Structure 1
Amino acid sequence: MKAVFLDKQGALVDDFACNGQRRLSLRAGAGPALRLLARLDYRFIAVSDQETGDDGRVDDELMARVAHRLGDLLFRERLTLEGFYYCPHDRLMPAPRNGLECFCRKPQPGMLLKAAMEHEIDLRASWMIGASLHDVEAGNRAGCRTVLIDNGTEMEWRLGPRRVPTRIAPDLYAAARLISIEGEERH
């Protein structure tokens, strides 16, 4: 099976506050983009680095609601979200509480590798799409091809050999078109 790993924030959804509540909606053009990729037999896995609370933990109940909302948004587009993975570790701490190094927070490839194992995904036939060079590096480390959504959210621009995307696109629909063209060229 081949997949498209999608960074939740910046590539797949808009996250905004409404009456004190966080709301998620698909980014403009995401539905048609994902339908195009689904016709090419790609499965969809969302991967997210979540911000932690004051206690240094991610609210697992909140993340379950986010996963449910993402699944619902894709269902409305006649699509399926195969999986939702997030890093539960505090980004400001050097290691999780158990003393082991965090291998899931991007640019580490842990979320992609775990999803690949659990869903029998061929990483070499898969893509990582995200709006940061951390997303690109995680995809490259996992063995995927990568697309950087250059929408102005990348602020650091720390370049390096693992931080070079396969392609660059202004939005998810353009990324889907590039992936479809690349697939046609390989056949």
Structure 2
Amino acid sequence: MSGGPEGFVVPTGAGRTLRAPAHEVTFKVTGEHSRIASSFEVVVPPGFDVGAHVHARSEELFYVLEGELEVLAFEPRVRTPDNWRHWVSSSGRRVVRATAGTVLVVPPGCPHAFANRTGEPAKMFFQSSPPPHHEDYFEEVLEQLADGGGPDPEAMARLRARYDIEQLTPMRYSAPPVHSDGR
């Protein structure tokens, strides 16, 4: 009797982790493991705003594990280019305060964004389909953020254009001040 297909388990703390100051992405399931989706655990530092953006082909799912994020997933009446937090959909939907247990599902073509406006890191489970686009994207984004500064707008625009990301509002990162005691 031959065995059938086997799945696998990714235990707590396992996966390949990429780090830049205050940023962390752990690859849990990659295109090597699944033809359906890539899965990540992402730490969103205080002051980070991914900026509103849209994917023509990718579908995404976000599940807030810890902390609090402001999120949106809708087409606004007006796409203002500077700040997505004031967007309103034609049905009256607005930005949501997402806490642990909140799920955000983003179909292709749907503008979406998240930002951490608190003083504490947030953590989310993030899934993107199809793989491996976001795997490669995260590799390059973490390289951009490695020096601890904010993203270079021109370099990020080129990077995002290569990965099916139309940026609608700027990505921003205001790193919290470092105290003399290291906090």
Q: What TM-score, normalized to structure 2? A: 0.24
Question: Which structure shows the bigger proportion of residues in helix conformation?
Answer: 1
Question: Which structure shows the bigger proportion of residues in strand conformation?
Answer: 2
Q: What TM-score, normalized to structure 1? A: 0.24
Considering only CA atoms, is the larger Rg found in Structure 1 or Structure 2? 2
